[in-house]
Amino acid sequence: IIVVDEGWKAVDDHVFVARIKDWEKTIRKRGGIVGFATQNARDALDSRIGPAIIEQAATQIFMPNPKAQAADYRQGFGLSAHELDLVRSLPDNSQCFLVKHGNDSVIARLDLTGLDRALTVLSGRESTVRQLDTLRAERGDYPAAWLEPLLAAVAAQDAPPRLRQ
């Protein structure tokens, strides 16, 4: 699974476009997924190759967005009026989202409560990645050697200032 956060900026980068095209051709053949995430639907639609990627996407995921614009979501992404209403009306804290595949769509829920340890390891936060790189350089690639120190470092970093030691 490769997820490119704010991927629409990346697709406007000449060097990265070649990489994305390669991923799109090879990753899916190997059972992989390439995903693009954005905070703003218009960014995807205005991107140089965004419309082509949107057209090729077999599955799209839409998070709750009460400000979703009909022009972006209906014309740009091909959602029905009902699907757009769902995206607009899902509560932010519902842990629900719309999954659209072809003409079919469903509301899905993914509750990650209690998965803090796993989310720390999967995090793409720059500070967490730097900490993991440092720990792997010091301790090696085996997770048993770096997992607990990573979790402790992230917990200390995320603690309120008065609780940090």
81 burial via Cβ count (<10 Å: 0-12, 13-18, 19+) = exposed
Predicted pLDDT of residue 138: 96
> pLDDT for 123-134, tens place per residue?
878 899 999 999
- Ordered by start, the domain boundaries in the chain are 2-109, 116-158
> pLDDT for 4-58, tens place per residue?
887 777 777 777 877 777 777 788 788 888 888 888 888 888 887 777 778 878 8
> pLDDT for 62-114, tens place per residue?
999 999 999 999 999 999 999 999 999 999 999 999 999 999 999 999 999 99
In CATH, the number for domain 2-109 is: 3.40.50.300
Structure tokens at 142: 């085996």
Residue 46: HSE in the Cβ half-sphere, 13 Å Cα cutoff: 8
Q: What mean pLDDT comes out for the span 146-161? A: 86
How many Å is the Cα radius of gyration of the chain?
19
Predicted pLDDT of residue 155: 87
The length of the chain in residues reads 165
pTM of structure:
0.75
Structure tokens at 71: 């022009």
Q: How confident is the model at residue 1 (pLDDT cuts 50, 70, 90)?
A: confident
Q: Across the beta sheet with 59-62, what order do the strands follow?
A: 59-62, 96-101, 104-109
Structure tokens at 21: 């095209």
Predicted pLDDT of residue 164: 47
